[in-house]
Amino acid sequence: MFAAVSLGVFDHLAEAGTAQELASALQVQTEPLERLLDACVGLKLIHRNGLHYENLPVAQAYLCRKGPQSLTGYILYSNEVLFRLWSYLEDAVREGTPRWKQSLGSEGSIFEHFFRTPEAKHTFLQGMHGLGTLSSPAVAQAFDLSRFKQLVDLGGATGHLAIAACERFPDLRAVVFDLAEVIGAAQIHVSQSPARGRIRTAAGDFFRDELPEGDLFALGRIVHDWPDEKVHALLRKIYRTLPHGGGLLLAEKMLHDDKSGPVSAQLQSLNMLVCTEGKERSLEEYRQLLEAAGFRDIQGSITQRPLDAIFALKPRDAGAK
């Protein structure tokens, strides 16, 4: 699947074609391509009718670059980066550190690698947007957020969570807060939403800069990037910024409390081992982090989507933290 996406197979099979026709369009050899196509048939991504191949609906929706639900950005990132990092999983387990230098020769952080070129940045952000469109509507619906007026989506990337929340709750306004090099992508996607008049963007680093004001904060796929000490610092900063009675919404994939599953979260936690300083956590572990920062009334919701939801409140009688 990775190779087929990278070669552009699914983009060219939006309409049926033969292996020979496709090989000519992609400038590859016909017989090896036919093997790849037949493997994709076996994976139920492509249908074969005699000599002709055609995308099945799942490939048409998610594996073509121009589709509104496209996951090709994340797949290309997985093919070009994650696949290489995972080849050093044993060393990550031995040493407890990510594998960037070992596999890619990079001294920088994962985020510096994401933004090393305009093309790399676009690929990564589109991948995150594709995953976000699968998860964010369910996360936004997991809890009743109608009491809140101003959402601050920290590290909001393309704004998919802010968009989903504002489309769900008509009185909610939002600001997507992310690094300056990301904001342009957020503005494009926000402009396409029916809620665009209630969503703005702001550039900044949530670790270093002052946070925008709001009575609801969101962190989507942020907490799992970082070790406990950095998460503590960020949660305390959010807590101090929130008014009494303010809320915090997290979008993460939760492990069971006994770590027995689900397998998607277990494997994602290994993924974080090879590429970040973070890990996946259980609801109990999120509760401990949130309570240490002062939050209370912590709830979790299993969404049956790639990401689950955790919600917490700053008590109305809360003291300073």
CA max distance for the chain:
71
The catalytic position among 224, 232, 244, 256 is 224
Are 249 and 218 contacting, i.e. CB atoms less than 8 angstroms apart? yes
Nearby residues of 27 by Cβ (< 8 Å), 6 or more positions away: none
Rounded Cα gap, residues 271 and 255, in angstroms: 14
Rounded Cα gap, residues 271 and 24, in angstroms: 37
Q: Is the dihedral of CA 62, 65, 69, 75 positive or negative?
A: positive
Tokens linked to 219: 């962190």
Contacts 24+ apart (CB under 8 A), 53-61: 53/13, 53/16, 53/17, 53/18, 53/19, 53/22, 54/13, 54/15, 54/16, 54/17, 55/10, 55/13, 55/14, 59/10, 59/13, 60/10, 60/14
Tell which residue, 101, 62, 72, 71, has the closest CA to residue 85. 101
Tell which residue, 137, 109, 258, 253, has the closest CA to residue 195. 137
Nearby residues of 70 by Cβ (< 8 Å), 6 or more positions away: 62, 63, 64, 126, 130
User: Has 244 been annotated as catalytic?
Assistant: no
Residue positions annotated with a catalytic role: 224
